[in-house]
Chain A
């Protein structure tokens, strides 16, 4: 059993611009949740904090809850409000 979780974070759109990269790796405590992952990232990039309310999170390419317990090797993605397609303004997934 490792003493830390190695987590890969994927970033898109505004969070990607704020962090200056689309992928980064974090080491988190073994008890870490997706929310803890965000907190660790926001401590390095404080501009992220104001986005928290609007962000959703995905773990291993599936929408997840912020309280999801992470496992070693998980890929966490921050998902800003989506706007796929064309024209009509998007709405926010539930």
Chain B
């Protein structure tokens, strides 16, 4: 899917990701707006302190789902391009877990499509988050915490 020298639009990777790089990749002479989003690992969740997260993905299916979500956004809003990268593996506080960039002629479409893409990823992409803190490790299953094994 990826072409040499060109950032793939959709990727699930264990390497660091950046919305800045995605923003450059979706730039276009027709686009007057580029909206970006980064999901960043935070040091607390639900009143508990968090030391690090581990993301696990069904990578080939997750990439298909990210592509479907990007296509849905492109059908629904007049946008030039959308790029979505999701990280897997162990991430420390402040590291970027998901990066999205959307370009469009005008800002309204870029903001709306961006919001749709991140919200839908969280509903549909087969990617799981394991949180580790002072009380041990937990799988985050929607609103539920479930103690994880080692």
Could you list which residues of chain A lie within 8 angstroms of chain B, going by C-beta atoms? 10, 12-14, 16-17, 54, 58, 61-62, 77, 79-93
Could you list which residues of chain B lie within 8 angstroms of chain A, going by C-beta atoms? 39-42, 45, 55-58, 60-62, 64, 86, 97-98, 118, 121-130, 139-144, 146, 148-149
CB distance from B96 to the nearest CB of A (A): 8
Contact of A82 among B60, B64, B128 (CB under 8 A): B128
Q: Is the CB of A85 within 8 A of B126?
A: no
Q: Is the CB of B122 within 8 A of A85?
A: yes
Top 3 closest A-B pairs, CB basis?
A86-B39, A84-B127, A81-B141
CB pairs A–B below 8 angstroms (8 shown): A13-B128, A14-B141, A82-B124, A83-B139, A84-B57, A90-B140, A91-B123, A92-B123
A12-B56, A86-B39 given; A17·B149 CB < 8 A = yes
Q: Is the CB of B146 within 8 A of A14?
A: yes
Q: Is the CB of B97 within 8 A of A86?
A: yes
The CA-CA distance from A75 to B125 in the complex, in Å, is 18
The winner among A13, A14, A17, A91 for most chain B CB atoms within 10 A is A13
Q: Is the CB of B118 within 8 A of A85?
A: yes
Q: Is the CB of A88 within 8 A of B144?
A: no
CB distance from B123 to the nearest CB of A (A): 5
